[in-house]
C-alpha cells in the first residue's frame, strides 16, 4: 500500500482539465503550494491547446521554489491513460483521433507526466488523505479494532464519475476503463445508462416531468433544492426529483459495494444536496430482494450507515463487538458479527481530492 504522501517534500505540477478552461497548480507535502490559476483550454485547435498547456505549466514552474519531479493530472472520460494518450472526448474535440499528450509534455519538460481519469483520482485522493483515513481514525478513537482498506466513490455533477481503490491500489483495468460507473444500468429507466439518473440533468429532467414543464425551462439543481426545502406547490416535485437521484445512485453503489466491500465517498456539485437524496440512497442500499417464493432478504451482506449522521457514525464505529470462547478452553476472542459499510461526503472537497490523488499517484509511480 503506497505511503500517505503528506510528509513528502517533492513537488508535482497538477492540472484540472475542463472543456472550457485548464486550472493549473502544484502540490508538495499533499498541499497546494501556489494559488491555482485558469487559462482558456482552446480545445478548438490542437496547436492552441498544446500551447496553453506549455504556457500554464511553465508559469507553474516559475512560481514554485522546488524543482518539480513530475506532472500529474486528470482528464474527464475514458482514454488510454496508461500511455498518456487522449482520444475522442466530446468536450475536448482537438484530441480526436488520439494525441500522446503525456509524451508531448515529457519531451518539453524532461520529467515524467501521468494522466488519469478524474473520478479515479478523486477516490484515490480520498483514500490517501480524506474519508478513508479519517474514518479509520474515528474507529481507532472509539476503541474499535475494525479498519478499512478499500474505497469506492462517485462524483455527481454534469456527469456521473467513479473510482475504486483496493488495498491502497487504484483499480485501472486492462483497458484503463475500470469503474466507468456512468455505463451501469439506470434502475428507474433500464433502457438508459446510470448517468441519466445520477447527474444534474437527471434532477432537472425529473422536475420538468413532474411539473409538466419543458426541460429547457427547468431550474438549476440548486434552485430545485431550494424549492424542495420550501413550501411552494412544486416542493413535492422537487423532493421527488432528488429522491429519484438517490435511488439511482444507491442502486449503483450497491453494485460497487458487492464487488469492493469497503467504504463509499461521494463528491461533485450535487453532493451539497445530500440531505435531499441520502435517505433514498440509504433505503436502496439497505433494501431487500425477494426470493421466488416472495420471501425478502437483504440486498447487501453489509448494513449501510450514513457517515454524515452522528448517531449513524457512532453505531458504525461501535459495531456489535463481543467476546466468544474457544471451545474446550477458557480463552476468548473478540468478535464483531456486523458486516457494514458507510457512505460519506468528500472530506477534502472534490477538486482538492483530485489534486491529492494526482499527487499521490505520481509519487507512487516514481517510487
Of 172, 133, 179, 175, nearest to 152 by C-alpha is 179
Q: How far apart are CA 229 and CA 185, in angstroms?
A: 30
Cα–Cα dist 258/279, whole Å: 20
pLDDT on residue 231: 87
Q: What is the pLDDT of residue 6?
A: 53
Instruction: Using pLDDT thresholds of 50, 70 and 90, give the confidence band for residue 176.
Output: confident
Mean pLDDT computed over 250-273: 97
Question: DSSP of 157-177, one letter per residue?
Answer: SSSEEEEEEETTEE---TTS-
pLDDT at 2 over 90: no
Per-residue pLDDT for 3 more than 60?
no
Could you give the CA distance from residue 283 to residue 275 in angstroms, rounded to a whole number? 13
Reduced to 3 states (helix: H, G, I; strand: E, B; else coil), residue 102 is helix
- Domain regions of the chain by residue span: 11-123, 145-345
Per-residue pLDDT, averaged over 182-203, amounts to 97
Instruction: With beta carbons less than 8 A apart as the criterion, state whether 332 and 321 touch.
Output: no
What number is the average pLDDT over the span 118-135?
A: 96
Q: Which fold has domain 145-345?
A: Nucleotidyltransferase; domain 5 (3.30.420)
Helix H segments across 142-234?
200-210, 221-228
What is the average pLDDT score of the chain?
94
What pLDDT, in 10s, does the model give residues 20-29?
Answer: 889 999 999 9
Q: What is the pLDDT of residues 204-238, one digit of tens each?
A: 999 999 999 999 999 999 999 999 999 889 999 99
pLDDT of 43 = 85
- pTM here is 0.93
Give residues with Cβ within 8 angstroms of 47, minimum separation 6. Answer: none
What was the pLDDT predicted at 91?
Answer: 75
- Model pLDDT, residue 89: 79
pLDDT higher at 128 or 8: 128
Share of the chain above pLDDT 70, in %: 98
CA–CA dist 205, 182 (Å, integer):
17
Per-residue model confidence as pLDDT tens digits over 66-117: 999 999 998 876 689 999 999 887 778 898 899 999 999 999 999 999 999 9
Which grid coordinates belong to 7?
510528509
pLDDT at 367 over 90: no
pLDDT higher than threshold 60 for residue 4: no
Run of H or E including 14: strand 11-17
- Say whether 145-345 and 11-123 share the same fold: yes
Domain 11-123 part of CATH 2.40.110.10: no
Q: What mean pLDDT do residues 48-68 have?
A: 96
CA angle 339, 267, 241 (to 5 degrees): 90
The residue written with cell numbers 494559488 in the block is: 35
Question: Measuring CA to CA, which residue among 241, 266, 243 is closest to residue 253?
Answer: 266
Question: Residues 312-347: pLDDT tens digits?
Answer: 999 999 999 899 999 999 999 989 999 999 999 999
Amino acid at each position: 500500500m503506497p505511503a500517505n504522501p503528506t510528509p513528502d517534500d517533492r513537488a508535482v505540477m497538477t492540472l484540472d482539465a475542463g472543456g472550457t478552461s485548464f486550472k493549473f497548480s502544484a502540490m508538495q507535502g499533499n498541499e497546494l503550494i501556489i494559488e491555482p490559476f485558469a487559462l482558456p483550454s482552446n480545445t478548438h485547435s490542437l496547436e492552441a491547446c498544446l500551447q496553453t498547456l506549455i504556457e500554464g505549466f511553465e508559469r507553474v514552474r516559475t512560481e514554485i521554489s522546488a524543482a518539480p519531479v513530475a506532472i500529474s493530472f486528470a482528464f474527464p472520460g475514458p482514454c488510454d491513460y496508461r500511455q498518456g494518450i487522449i482520444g475522442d472526448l466530446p468536450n475536448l474535440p482537438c484530441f480526436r483521433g488520439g494525441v500522446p499528450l503525456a509524451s508531448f509534455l515529457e519531451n518539453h519538460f524532461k520529467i515524467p507526466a501521468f494522466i488519469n481519469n478524474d473520478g479515479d483520482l478523486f477516490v484515490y485522493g480520498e483514500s490517501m488523505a480524506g474519508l478513508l483515513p479519517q474514518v479509520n481514525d474515528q474507529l481507532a478513537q472509539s476503541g474499535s479494532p475494525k479498519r478499512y482498506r478499500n474505497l469506492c466513490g462517485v462524483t455527481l455533477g454534469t456527469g456521473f464519475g467513479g473510482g475504486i481503490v483496493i488495498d491502497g491500489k487504484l483499480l485501472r483495468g486492462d483497458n484503463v476503463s475500470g469503474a466507468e460507473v456512468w455505463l451501469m444500468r439506470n434502475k428507474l429507466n433500464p433502457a438508459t445508462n446510470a448517468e441519466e439518473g445520477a447527474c444534474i440533468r437527471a434532477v432537472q429532467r425529473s422536475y420538468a416531468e413532474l411539473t409538466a414543464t419543458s426541460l429547457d425551462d427547468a431550474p438549476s439543481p440548486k434552485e430545485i433544492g431550494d424549492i424542495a426545502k420550501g413550501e411552494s406547490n412544486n416542493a413535492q416535485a422537487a423532493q421527488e426529483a432528488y429522491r429519484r437521484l438517490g435511488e439511482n445512485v444507491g442502486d449503483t453503489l450497491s453494485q460497487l459495494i458487492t464487488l469492493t466491500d469497503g467504504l463509499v465517498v461521494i463528491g461533485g456539485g450535487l453532493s451539497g444536496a445530500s440531505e435531499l437524496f441520502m435517505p433514498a440512497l440509504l433505503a436502496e442500499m439497505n433494501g431487500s430482494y425477494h426470493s421466488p417464493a416472495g420471501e425478502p432478504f437483504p440486498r447487501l451482506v453489509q448494513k449501510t450507515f450514513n457517515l454524515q449522521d452522528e448517531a449513524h457514525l457512532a453505531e458504525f464505529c461501535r459495531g456489535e463487538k463481543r467476546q466468544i470462547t474457544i471451545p474446550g478452553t477458557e480463552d476468548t476472542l473478540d468478535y464483531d458479527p456486523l458486516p457494514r459499510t458507510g457512505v460519506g461526503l468528500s472530506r477534502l472537497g472534490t477538486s482538492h481530492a483530485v489534486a491529492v490523488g494526482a499527487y499521490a499517484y505520481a509519487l507512487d509511480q516514481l517510487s
